[in-house]
């Protein structure tokens, strides 16, 4: 025959089921809390890594900009030295030309006076170029323009016109 059912067991079943649900809920909360903590930790680590990468990128960019700036400075210095060297060489050539003109040109008469004046001018200009260099030319031009702004403007317009004519293709 069928045995009598155990009323104690049946009475405990709802309690066991609610306890099981409670345990599952607690376990789910614990897992969710752990997952949340883990996600926060990962997000924090990711933020730190992004910050480090950004700092490294900025440092590299600053380093590259500094490098390029130093190279541009070096190039400008090199060009400046080459311009000074070229100006000194032109100055030496003008002095030599003036000296040669003085030796070869007639010494008397109107032609002698003119050749002597030209030789003096060439020698003075050559000496000035050798002593002052390219910077001296720039300073002289700046001072001339400051003293004579209107004629300098007309000279600039004239030079621009001549350059435009020379560079414009003819038909």
Q: In this predicted model, what pLDDT tens digit does every residue of 92-118 receive, in sequence order?
A: 888 888 888 888 888 888 888 888 888
Q: Encode burial over 137-158: b for 16+ CB neighbours within 10 A, e otherwise.
A: eeeeeeeeeeeeeeeeeeeeee
Mention every residue, 6+ apart, whose C-beta is less than 8 A from residue 121: 98
Phi, psi angle pair for 20, to nearest 5°: -65, -45
Candidates 117, 119, 87; CA nearest to 103 is 119
What is the rounded CA–CA span in Å between residue 144 and residue 137? 10
Residue 32 confidence (pLDDT) above 70: no
Mean pLDDT of the chain: 79
What is the rounded CA–CA span in Å between residue 129 and residue 2? 129
pTM of the entire structure? 0.46
Mention every residue, 6+ apart, whose C-beta is less than 8 A from residue 20: none
Band (169; pLDDT cuts 50, 70, 90) = confident
Q: State whether residue 22 is helix, strand or coil.
A: helix
Domains in the chain: boundaries: 36-134
Residue 1 confidence (pLDDT) above 70: no
Contact 91, 130 (CB under 8 A): yes
What is the rounded CA–CA span in Å between residue 67 and residue 50? 25
């Amino acid at each position: 025959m069928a045995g009598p059912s155990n009323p104690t067991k049946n009475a405990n079943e709802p309690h066991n089921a609610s306890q099981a649900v409670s345990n599952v809920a607690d376990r789910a909360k614990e897992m969710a809390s752990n997952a949340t903590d883990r996600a926060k930790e990962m997000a924090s680590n990711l933020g730190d890594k992004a910050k480090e990468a950004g700092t490294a990128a900025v440092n590299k960019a600053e380093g590259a900009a500094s490098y390029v700036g130093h190279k541009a400075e070096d190039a400008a210095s090199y060009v400046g030295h080459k311009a000074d060297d070229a100006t000194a060489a032109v100055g030496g050539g003008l002095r030599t030309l003036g000296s040669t003109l003085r030796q070869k040109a007639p010494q008397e008469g109107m032609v002698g006076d003119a050749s002597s004046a030209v030789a003096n001018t060439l020698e003075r200009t050559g000496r000035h170029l050798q002593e002052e260099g390219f910077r001296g030319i720039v300073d002289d031009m700046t001072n001339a323009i400051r003293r004579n702004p209107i004629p300098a403007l007309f000279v600039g317009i004239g030079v621009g016109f001549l350059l435009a004519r020379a560079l414009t293709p003819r038909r």
